[in-house]
Amino acid sequence: MSADFTISKGLDLPIVGAPGTTIRSVSTRGTVSVFPSEFKKLKFKCLVEEGDTVSRGAKLARRKDVPEFFVCSPVAGTVKAIHLGDRRSLKEIVIAPDGSDNSEEFQSFTVEGILRAKAENVMAVLLESGMWGVIRQRPFNRIADPAAKPKSIFVNGMATAPFRPDAHVLAQGKGDEIQLALKALTLFTDGPVHVNLSSAAKEVSDPLTEASHVQINYFDGPHPSGNTSTHIHHLDPIIPGDTVWTLRVSDLIKIGELLLTGRLPNQQRMVLAGEGFKEEARGYVDVDTGMSLADVLGNSLRDGAQRIIRGDLLAGEAVDPADTGVYFYDEGFVALPEDTERHFLGWYAPTKTQYSAHKVVPSNWLKDKLFSFGTNLRGGHRAMVLTGIYDPYVTLDIMVDPLIRACLAGETEDAIAMGILESEPEDYALCTFICPSKTDFGKPIAETLDLIEQEGF
């Protein structure tokens, strides 16, 4: 079965710095870290002490509220340090690899046999190895509740935000892993497993387009046609009370490797892109999970101050490369030049070098041109004035103006009625981008979703 959708709303940023399709490999030169803090808002109890010897796949920490869920070590070695973050939360466990191949062996499955396996057994492997963390649940985009039965499962194979990795590059050579993981997912739901791909991939034949036992859907159109919320909205919208699970292709690959080999995967493929990278460095890298981000970046950055962003430009998190490593959940990093340059009379000068989605700025009339973007706000914060300009950038059946007002006023019931549960902060990133008053839509939406999650509905 398959379905086609054409999304007409949205915007593809004409931005320079897109990645090539080359794949290189970087290995760790020092310690490897595990970051329980990457699972935001969750509390963990540490199970090891400094100096303990651990094997690959050994349990390092346990979730306090879901005792079956663990965080495990990607390498064999010695626990070198345990760092605590705010309020003594477990931030980072540093492991010095000993170069040995000691590994925990989890139960393994075959591509043919997995459909006959019991869902509980597969789930137990995912929970014990910490791999469960890649399966997320909507609404609220948190780690899936193993006790819940999702009405359907969505796999995102076409992220459109700049610069999310191309799922088809990630999938190269991972046919068995992907097929195994997809079949495993069908065990967890009575509904369909949707694999959502870009219509540009229709002619391609690779592990994603040829996947079996799942429903493959094609989406055409500008960003956010590749956002998971868009896919859910068009295929099986969330009604308050519903639960759906979501994954990305990189998550499928990790699940597939674990179930196929019985060992915790210790490598992952990421994208490095953005104008802040040297041109030859923009592309894909295979890295060791948990390695220092500074090692990954090496000398691939261009001169000048660069902001390193985990995730994408529209909904990412600025990080300090010296202070973090490759998270289990990472798919890529963007380097964006810091831009604090002041332009003389720039508020009305007819700029040709700064992109705008608004016709009032002359650069908008230049077609087929790629623009440089920096971190500059390009204006000052003001009260919101223009109305109705945000709706063309949100693909869901949501009126943005009333919703954001309800969020700012803390009216959670109104926000739910207007459809906030269908969405995530990333779905409003383009509204933030185009807002002439420089309003940040992400924050009020995220805060309202948190509030609803706490209060229940």
Partner 1 sequence: MKDFKKLIEEKHDEIRPQFEEGGKLEKLYPLFEAQDTFAFTPPDTTKGMTHVRDAVDLKRVMFTVVIALIPCLLWGIFNAGHQYYHYSGIEAGLFATLFRGMLIVMPIVLTSYIVGGIWEVTFAIVRKHEINEGFLVTGLLFPLTLPPTIALWQVAVGISFGVVVGKEVFGGTGFNILNPALTARAYLFFAHAKDMTGEIWAAAKDGATGATPLGLGASFGGEGLDVKAALADRGHTFWSMFGGLEAGSIGETSVIPILLGAGILIVAGIGSWRIMVGGCVGLAFTAILMNFMPTQGLEAGKMVQFTTWTQIPFLYHFVMGSFLFGIVFMATDPVSAAATNVGKWIYGALIGVVTVLVRITNPGFPEGVMLAILFMNVMAPIIDYYVVQGHIKNRNANLRKFSYAKG
Closest distance to partner 1 from the beta carbon of 344 (Å) = 4
Q: Which is nearer to partner 1, 113 or 410 (CB)?
A: 410
402 binds partner 1 (CB under 8 A): yes
Beta bridge pairs of residue 155: 195, 247
Which residues between 15 and 54 bind partner 1 (CB under 8 A)?
15
Which residues between 424 and 443 bind partner 1 (CB under 8 A)?
425-426, 429, 432-438, 440, 442-443
Give the whole-angstrom CA distance, residue 260 versus residue 342: 55
CB 319 within 8 A of CB 308: yes
Interface with partner 1: number of residues (CB under 8 A)? 74
Closest distance to partner 1 from the beta carbon of 221 (Å) = 20
Q: Using DSSP bridges, classify how beta strands 70-72 and 90-97 pair: parallel, antiparallel or unpaired.
A: unpaired
Query: Residues 6 or more apart from 437 whose CB is under 8 A from it?
Result: 381, 382, 383, 384, 385, 386
CB 430 within 8 A of CB 10: yes
Which residues between 45 and 104 bind partner 1 (CB under 8 A)?
none
What backbone phi and psi angles, to 5 degrees, belong to 140? 85, -5
C-alpha distances out from residue 197 to 22, 92, 94, 253, 272, Å? 21, 35, 37, 16, 21
Give the whole-angstrom CA distance, residue 10 versus residue 73: 41
Of 248, 242, 238, give the one whose Cα is nearest residue 424.
Answer: 238
Closest distance to partner 1 from the beta carbon of 190 (Å) = 11
Q: Which is nearer to partner 1, 123 or 434 (CB)?
A: 434
Binding-site string for partner 1 from residue 113 to residue 132, where x marks contact by CB under 8 A and - marks none: --------------------
Binder among 53, 215, 267, 375 for partner 1 (CB under 8 A): 375
Q: Which is nearer to partner 1, 208 or 421 (CB)?
A: 421
Q: Which is nearer to partner 1, 120 or 338 (CB)?
A: 338
379 binds partner 1 (CB under 8 A): yes
Q: Which is nearer to partner 1, 1 or 345 (CB)?
A: 345
Beta bridge pairs of residue 318: 309
Per CB under 8 A, the segment of 35-43, 193-201, 220-228, 393-401 that binds partner 1 is 393-401
CB 292 within 8 A of CB 33: yes
Binder among 287, 315, 415, 452 for partner 1 (CB under 8 A): 315
313 binds partner 1 (CB under 8 A): yes
Q: Any idea which residue has 């008053």 for tokens?
A: 437
345 binds partner 1 (CB under 8 A): yes
Q: Which is nearer to partner 1, 44 or 245 (CB)?
A: 245
